[in-house]
Amino acid sequence: MYLKLTFHGVSFYAALLEDKAPIMCAELKKACPFEARLTYAKICDNEIVFQAPVSKYVVENPVYSVKGHIAYYGPKHSVCIWFGDTPSLGACDLFALLADEDIPRFAESYNTVAAIEHLRAGRILFLACGLGNPCFSTDSAVVLRAIELECDAILMAKNIDGVYTADPHIDPSATLIPRITYAEAAERDLRVMDAAAFIMLRENAVPVVRVFGLEPPDNVLKVLSGDPMGTILTRD
């Protein structure tokens, strides 16, 4: 028996492993059809996850997942789908296998040469899932990919609307800095992003970084349209 997964009108099929995970397969059969919000995993590379309305869960077939596996992660009540090579950070309960021909249709595993070719062809790239390594934040992922792809700028949407003289959540006298160089930000120990990402940024000199608030949702469109909100960081 197969599990049908449909994302944005595109369907994929996975073979249920009813002999190895009978309880999970039975639970999913009872729950289907259902809708869920799909997200990319922040820690594990090449993985997408969604919540499943499963009422009964027992450990049945724990494995370290690889490309093509569909497994259940009990602590987060999540179905995990791996479409590429992924670091083994922990075992999940394998209950289905994605058809080989469907794996490349999910997404491409990141490759710098292929990514540059897509850009040269005029395509827009969505890079997701972080770096796939523990201890590296999404800040590091953004800066590293921007360096590899020789990007002209990084637009960084944060939970704060720019770079301040101090943490505005702690110091009410903190003021927004509209423009500052990388060197000045480092000298003043301003926490623009995590330390590893900022070191990469300074040493490789991405021309411009704009830090702005993620909320409201139309801020991204405003920045792309030239709105000067937030803080601009430059090489000089």
Instruction: Give which of 39, 134, 32, 148 is closest to 86, Cα–Cα.
Output: 134
Instruction: Quote the pTM value.
Output: 0.60
pLDDT at 42 over 70: no
Beta carbons of 154 and 146 less than 8 angstroms apart: yes
Burial class for 224, CB neighbours closer than 10 Å (0-12, 13-18, 19+): exposed
Instruction: Give which of 172, 154, 168, 170 is closest to 212, Cα–Cα.
Output: 154
pLDDT value at residue 155:
92
pLDDT value at residue 159:
86
The answer to whether the Cα torsion of 57, 59, 65, 68 is positive or negative is: negative
pLDDT at 87 over 70: no
How high does pLDDT run on average in the chain?
A: 85
What is the Cα–Cα distance from 46 to 126, expressed in whole angstroms? 13
Place of tokens 């073979």: 15
Model confidence pLDDT, tens digit, residues 155-195:
988 888 999 998 888 898 999 999 998 888 888 888 788 77
Mean pLDDT of 208-215: 90
What is the Cα–Cα distance from 219 to 231, expressed in whole angstroms? 13
Instruction: Give which of 15, 9, 52 is closest to 31, Cα–Cα.
Output: 52
pLDDT at 11 over 80: yes
pLDDT value at residue 132:
64
Q: For the chain, which domains are there?
A: 2-106 (2.40.100.20), 136-234 (3.40.1160.10)
pLDDT value at residue 39:
79
pLDDT value at residue 197:
82
Mean pLDDT of 201-209: 82
Model confidence pLDDT, tens digit, residues 110-126:
889 989 998 999 988 88
41 pLDDT band, cuts 50/70/90, is low
Comparing 40 with 186, which gets the higher pLDDT? 186
Rounded (10°) angle between helices 138-148 and 195-204: 20
What is the Cα–Cα distance from 143 to 232, expressed in whole angstroms? 15
pLDDT at 20 over 90: yes
